[in-house]
A = this chain, B = another copy of it.
């Protein structure tokens, strides 16, 4: 682009962010240098701090700065229920419902053979060890309802059922507040099959 070598390096570094291509990276770099140099320094320090301090909860695998995360440290929860989610964002969505008071296991990903993500990468071994701790009786598989999330749920259910655990899946059906006319047919078909 120019003889500003450190600008080119910054644009390259920004391209490593997911969803950021060459043009977005240039726009971000120009914006920071032109309008928000303080923001650039704040981001630089935040990256450094997060890399140094954030690691995985030794029990549920989510991000934390402590040995155990806040949820795993809470003794008031129902130790017989364990929800398996793909990401901390999914866990946060479940928490916001207020409808689940058990513990979690966060896969930090999903099975995706085409991208080289296998059972080892989503911590299946660690999940099996967590679920067979003697307290857990039901594992609620709350992976996403995408093709990859469904495949992940299948592999997890196989591994845990063979060890005598009850494995359930979040219900599929018509979203709250929706009109049938505007719901896609696959969802209605699932809601018919799973009617109660």
Which residues of B lie under 8 Å from residue A39 when comparing CB positions? 13, 16-17
Point out the residue from B12, B49, B70, B108 that lies within 8 Å of A10, measured CB to CB.
B49
Q: Is A44 an interface residue (CB 8 A)?
A: yes
Query: In the complex the two chains form, is A54's CB within 8 Å of B42's CB?
Result: no
Query: In the complex, which residue of chain B has the Cβ closest to the Cβ of A11?
Result: B46
Query: In the complex the two chains form, is B34's CB within 8 Å of A108's CB?
Result: yes
Which residues of B lie under 8 Å from residue A41 when comparing CB positions? 47-48, 51
Q: Is A66 an interface residue (CB 8 A)?
A: yes
In angstroms, Cα B32 to Cα A63, docked, is 12
Residues 36-90 (chain A) with a chain B CB within 8 angstroms? 36-37, 39-54, 62-66, 69-70, 87-89
In angstroms, Cα B66 to Cα A52, docked, is 34
Q: Is A131 an interface residue (CB 8 A)?
A: no
CB distance from A21 to the nearest CB of B (A): 11
CB distance from A117 to the nearest CB of B (A): 10
Point out the residue from B13, B24, B49, B92 that lies within 8 Å of A42, measured CB to CB.
B13
Chain B interface: which of A1-9, A143-151, A187-195?
A: A1-9
| Interface residues of A, Cβ cutoff 8 Å to B | 1-7, 9-10, 12-14, 16-19, 23-24, 26-34, 36-37, 39-54, 62-66, 69-70, 87-89, 92, 108-109
